[in-house]
Amino acid sequence: MSNTSHRRRSPLFRADPVGKQAQEAGLEQSLYSESCPGQDGRRTAPLPQQRPCPAGLRTPGRGRQRPGRRGLPATAFSLGPEQDAASMSWDLLLSLLLACALAYLGVQLVRFVRADGDLTLMWAEWQGRRPEWELSDMVVWVTGASSGIGEELVYQLSKLGASLVLSSRRANELERVKNKCLEISNLKEKDILVLPLDLTDRSSHEAATKTVLQKFGQIDILVNNGGRSQRSLFVETNLDIYKEIMEINFLGTISLTKCVLPHMIERKQGKIVTVSSVMGITGAPLASGYSASKHALHVINLRSHCFEGQASSFEGFFNSLRSELTTYPEITVMVICPGPVQSNIVHNAFTEEISKKIENPGEQDYKMATSRCVRLMLVSMANDLKEAWISEQPYLSFCYIGQYTPTWAWLLIDKLGPRRIDNFKSALVWSCVFFSIVLQNNIKNLLVHKFYYSHSCLSPEINLAI
What pLDDT does 274 receive? 93
- The whole-angstrom separation of Cα 374 and Cα 370 is 6
Q: What is the mean pLDDT of each run of 10 residues along the chain (466 residues)?
A: 47 48 52 49 50 50 48 52 73 89 88 86 93 94 94 96 96 96 95 96 95 96 92 89 92 94 96 90 83 74 33 59 90 92 84 80 79 96 94 87 84 81 65 45 46 40 32
What pLDDT does 254 receive? 93
Report the relative pairing of strands 163-167 and 139-143 from DSSP bridges: parallel
- The whole-angstrom separation of Cα 157 and Cα 281 is 27
- The whole-angstrom separation of Cα 377 and Cα 370 is 11
- The whole-angstrom separation of Cα 26 and Cα 44 is 14
Count CB neighbours of 159 within 10 A. Answer: 16
Is the whole-model pTM more than 0.75?
Answer: no
What pLDDT does 23 receive? 54
Nearest to 219 by CA among 288, 266, 283: 266
What pLDDT does 213 receive? 97
Residues known to be catalytic: 290
